[in-house]
Chain A
Amino acid sequence: NAGVTQTPKFQVLKTGQSMTLQCAQDMNHEYMSWYRQDPGMGLRLIHYSVGAGITDQGEVPNGYNVSRSTTEDFPLRLLSAAPSQTSVYFCASSSTGASNQPQHFGDGTRLSIL
């Protein structure tokens, strides 16, 4: 079972470069989200989507863009990378956005911005 697949697993960028973190799920989940995890900060919500064509901002959206053209995919774009965006990024999905639904997480992308 693939579940939530994130690529790449590791990436090093220079300040100002752009890149897209990929996230795909094969569970036909409607709700998908992106988090970043920093030491002592837990996971902070960047953007989320309740279905194809619908996205919304989370707690820390600045510097990131998302789109949801299909149910399966939810890419996260960094338009101009900054050292403050060095973090571990997690994508998650759940069947709906309902409060009792479990979030299924990918294994993360470790991103370093030099």
Chain B
Amino acid sequence: TQLLEQSPQFLSIQEGENLTVYCNSSSVFSSLQWYRQEPGEGPVLLVTVVTGGEVKKLKRLTFQFGDARKDSSLHITAAQPGDTGLYLCAGMEYGNKLVFGAGTILRVKS
């Protein structure tokens, strides 16, 4: 059973389009992190959100943590081919265990 549900699993869009990836759980997390992974490499941290309702922006990426700290979203504006990759959300359980969602494979076509 996946503790963190990510949707969609796959996303193929044209350059310039907007997209949103969702990460949902029935559990409360002390924090939630988003990672991006490219083939043959380990995940790289994009952002950490800690406070319920928190919104963080990283250039064209906007991250939101739900008020109840059970869900999060990643919105990309005007996607570019360089955004292609696997996006992973990860929630830190109380007790120092980081649990990951299954990931969203994003492909941005030029």
Asked if B2 is an interface residue, CB under 8 A from chain A, the answer is: yes
Asked if A102 is an interface residue, CB under 8 A from chain B, the answer is: yes
Asked if B44 is an interface residue, CB under 8 A from chain A, the answer is: yes
Cα(A103)–Cα(B99), bound, Å: 12
Cβ distance B103 to chain A, nearest Cβ, rounded Å: 5
Q: Which of B11-19, B35-43, B70-78 contacts A (4 or more CB under 8 A)?
A: B35-43
- Of chain B, the residue at the smallest CB distance from A38 is B102
| A-B Cβ contacts below 8 A, count | 64
Residues 27-50 of chain A: 1 if any B CB is under 8 Å from the residue's CB, otherwise 0?
000010101000011111100101
Asked if A75 is an interface residue, CB under 8 A from chain B, the answer is: no
Task: Report yes or no: B43 in contact with A105, Cβ–Cβ below 8 A.
Answer: yes
- Of chain B, the residue at the smallest CB distance from A35 is B100
Cα(A20)–Cα(B2), bound, Å: 28
Cα(A103)–Cα(B6), bound, Å: 20
Residues of chain B at interface, number, CB under 8 A: 28
Task: Report yes or no: A48 in contact with B97, Cβ–Cβ below 8 A.
Answer: yes
- Of chain A, the residue at the smallest CB distance from B9 is A40
Residue in A59, A99, A100 whose CB lies within 8 Å of B99: A59
Task: Report yes or no: B45 in contact with A102, Cβ–Cβ below 8 A.
Answer: yes
Cα(A43)–Cα(B99), bound, Å: 8
Residue in A44, A45, A58, A108 whose CB lies within 8 Å of B42: A108
Chain B residue contacts of A104, Cβ below 8 A: 45
Q: Which residues does B use to contact A, with CB under 8 Å?
A: 2, 4, 6, 9, 29-31, 33, 35, 40-45, 48, 50, 88, 90, 92, 96-103
Q: Which residues does A use to contact B, with CB under 8 Å?
A: 4, 31, 33, 35, 40-45, 48, 50, 58-59, 90, 92, 97, 99-108
